[in-house]
Amino acid sequence: MVLLVVMGVSGSGKSTVGSHLAAKDRIPWLCKLHDILMREESAGQSVILACSALKKMYRRILVSGRDVVYSKGDQLEEQGDSATGKVLFIHLDGSMELIASRLEKRRGHFMAPELLQSQFDTLEPPSAPENFITVSLEKSVSEIVSEIEKSLHLKKCFSRAVSELDAH
């Protein structure tokens, strides 16, 4: 465990240096989450993980583990990583205004509303060939859950159909 305090006078770059350090420190944590996902998958267990996974590289680490950190470019994508289809990213998508209004209503949460812009600046929305669905936050929680369940059912049906085609 590392505990750091980046200090200096105003304008010295504390936030910039701190965010760069945090990004580097995130890799071991993402690798640990990958290990948890793969352990549970190999035990036949379902897993629901909440993680911001804002960058494509972070999602690739969650899917493929530490090896992706040392790969060159999109090498893993070109090879067609076998875990890619096992992990489904559910991108909860909403406007900055909507999310800011939600954060302002929260009490005792670690995320200060004024830091939201940096989250949006960092966000690299999922795109093909990533395995993902995007769900609008304009919907109620029950509608969001229903949409996710429906998508999971369709993906399962599709996978089953492809397996049957491959068998013939």
| Nearest residue to 76 via CA among 90, 57, 53 | 57
Residue 145 carries which DSSP code?
H
What CATH number has the domain bearing residue 140? Answer: 3.40.50.300
Identify whether 4 is part of a domain: no
Identify whether 6 is part of a domain: no
Distance of alpha carbon 103 from alpha carbon 30, whole angstroms: 25
127, pLDDT greater than 90: yes
Structural domains in the chain (count):
1
Identify whether 117 is part of a domain: yes
Show the domain range for 74. Answer: 14-167
Q: What is the reported pLDDT for 113?
A: 64
Phi then psi for residue 152, to 5 deg, are -60, -40
Identify whether 91 is part of a domain: yes
Containing 118, the helix (H) or strand (E) segment is: helix 116-122
Containing 104, the helix (H) or strand (E) segment is: helix 96-105
Q: What is the mean pLDDT of the chain?
A: 81
Identify whether 45 is part of a domain: yes
Tokens representing residue 18 in the block: 């701190």
Tens of pLDDT, residues 7-61: 777 777 777 777 777 767 888 889 999 999 999 999 998 889 988 899 999 999 9
77, pLDDT greater than 60: no
Identify whether 31 is part of a domain: yes
Top-confidence residue, 122 or 2 = 122
Distance of alpha carbon 34 from alpha carbon 16, whole angstroms: 27
Identify whether 112 is part of a domain: yes
pLDDT confidence bin for 163, thresholds 50/70/90: low
pTM above 0.85, yes or no: no
Containing 92, the helix (H) or strand (E) segment is: strand 89-93
Q: Are 134 and 93 in contact (CB under 8 A)?
A: yes
Tokens representing residue 59 in the block: 């999602």
Identify whether 9 is part of a domain: no
Q: Which residue has the tokens 């640990």?
A: 32
